[in-house]
Amino acid sequence: MYAHPFSADYWRDASREVRDLRKLLFSALMIALCIVLAQVPSVPLFGGAKVTWGFLARSVCAWVCGPVLGLLFAFAEDILSFFLTGGGGYPFFPGYTLTTMLGVLTYALFLYRAPLRVWRIFCAKLVTNVQNVVLGALWIAILNSNGRFSLEAWYASASLSAVKNLIMLPVQTVLLVLLLRALQPALQRTGMLPRQGAGARPD
């Protein structure tokens, strides 16, 4: 366990996950689960916000597999999801792949080999939502710019997205807390997660 990711040992452990067959299989399972969850209807909240489900599988993969394998997972998951589902009628744009990769990296930095705490889960979700707002509005502005980027268009899109993400944040956090706590005992018994009894290493 580690108190923070600013450690050479942390990154050595994360790099080893790429050579762990069980973790590779687990990440492949999470890719399949993301594709399945994309077909599950979203739950509308209010103000135009709605809860989708793919973030659950992405966060679990980041939690178990770490930032290095997590980045590979996110790249593969985004590409495969696009081509298997048709991208919802939209053309492929690599910016959305980057957003997915940054989101999984963020989950991993907060959760991988760290004590499972509500504040960590909340911060991970808060940062990923901020990324979604800033980058999502940027990609929309670029795609709709016709060669001329508009800061006003970005601001309008980001403002609307920020409200929706703020509404979703507590619901998503509660879902993540419940899911991770429910999965933790089984994943620890199978050795997919380290046990927390020994405490976290400071470096």
Comparison of pLDDT for 199 and 10, the residue scoring more? 10
| Residue-level pLDDT at 146 | 77
- Residue 197 domain flag: no
Please indicate, yes or no, if residue 86 is contained in any of the structural domains. Answer: yes
In a domain, residue 15? The reply is: yes
Take residue 69 and report the two structure tokens written for it: 């394998």
With a cut of 90, say whether residue 20 has pLDDT above it: yes
With a cut of 50, say whether residue 200 has pLDDT above it. no
Is 149 inside a domain boundary?
no
What is the chain's percent helix, strand, coil content, to nearest 5?
75, 5, 25
| Residue 112 located in a structural domain | yes
Kindly report, residue by residue over 137-150, the tens digit of the pLDDT: 999 988 887 767 78
**∠ Cα 118 75 101 (to 5°):** 40
Q: What is the pLDDT of residue 202?
A: 40
Domain with residue 68: its CATH number is 1.10.1760.20
Q: What is the pLDDT of residues 83-123, one digit of tens each?
A: 887 766 678 899 999 999 999 999 999 999 999 999 999 99
Note down the domain range covering 79: 8-118+174-189
Q: How confident is the model at residue 160 (pLDDT cuts 50, 70, 90)?
A: very high
Alpha carbons 167 and 189: distance in angstroms, whole number: 35
Residue 106 lies in a domain: yes
- Residue 129: the pLDDT is 97
**66, pLDDT greater than 80:** yes
- Nearest CA-CA partner of 122 in 167, 168, 169: 169
At a CB cut-off of 8 Å and minimum separation 6, what does 131 contact? 99, 102, 103, 106
**Beta partners for 2?**
201
In the chain, the number of structural domains is: 1
- What's residue 67's pLDDT? 98
Higher-scoring residue by pLDDT: 65, 39: 65
